[in-house]
Structure 1
């Protein structure tokens, strides 16, 4: 997974073809595996032809991830958030922000939310 995340933009077709295996690995994987899986989904999500499949998968990861991972996952997701899907990401941030245990998490989420609101 670590090797795949940096090359998604170059090899998106091949990586998308392995999406089922990637998701299976993410769902059973370590935090590092999930981190890279979220990055892969976000980068694939930028491509219109994958959007309808990858966006729900990315959203699912954001809803279920540990709160301490959410700011990083939202930041990784910013590359694929657009006018079409921004409302769900705004909702995830607003609802999950209440779970945050420290100010730095809230600040990072607020910073991402400001970027999303500009779309």
Structure 2
């Protein structure tokens, strides 16, 4: 059975389970040909097929990032897509491969940042995740943290608690003060008390 025939849409399914199972099988068998077929069909005339392909690709990347790394530039190009599902799916894929080639990821930050600014919440979520990963790479840590802190200062309040919590592992003596200042400045931005308390909990860990 062809790879496309195994996608949710081809099977008449409305859920993502077939795509996830296919991704697991591709990763397990290191099926490079299947990955290539999925990438080719990101431009399929059927948008549902496109969406299933990008889903299967980033799910494959979550299990074996090296398998989708050769298509890094294809994912970068998709960040400019008018199809929101393809755009944030591409950012999800880039998030999965960020640590496979940190140099290429870092060089792509201007494009990633532009997509995060104009894209959906999910696009921004994955961009912030990429920045956090780069903060853990010595060669890029300072620049990546500066960009991460900018996101903390300007992101939607709803997203801030998650970003702050996820960033904790890369906070150290050199960036703790800036991180604390960014979060403290936003404590009055929350409509929900629960969100503010999550940020306050992060701040307590900084003391």
Assess same fold via TM > 0.5: yes
C-alpha separation in 2, matches of 1:115 and 1:9: 27
Which segments of 5 or more consecutive residues in structure 2 lack a partner in the other structure?
1-90
Q: Which has the larger radius of gyration?
A: 2
Say if 2:204 is the partner of 1:114: yes
Which stretch shifts more, 80-89 or 21-30? 21-30
The residue that corresponds to 1:21 in the other structure is 111
Structure 1: which 4+ aligned runs deviate by more than 6 Å? none
Contact 2:95 2:126 in 1 (8 A): yes
The residue that corresponds to 1:33 in the other structure is 123
TM-score, normalised with respect to structure 2: 0.53
Within a 5 Å distance, the mapping from 1:1-119 to structure 2 comes to: 1-117=91-207
Post-superposition CA distance 1:59-93 (Å, at most 9, x none): 11111111111101111222221110001111112
TM-score, normalised with respect to structure 1: 0.88
Structure number with greater CO (CA < 8 Å, separation at least 6) is: 1
C-alpha separation in 2, matches of 1:34 and 1:72: 12
Structure showing the higher helix proportion among its residues: 1
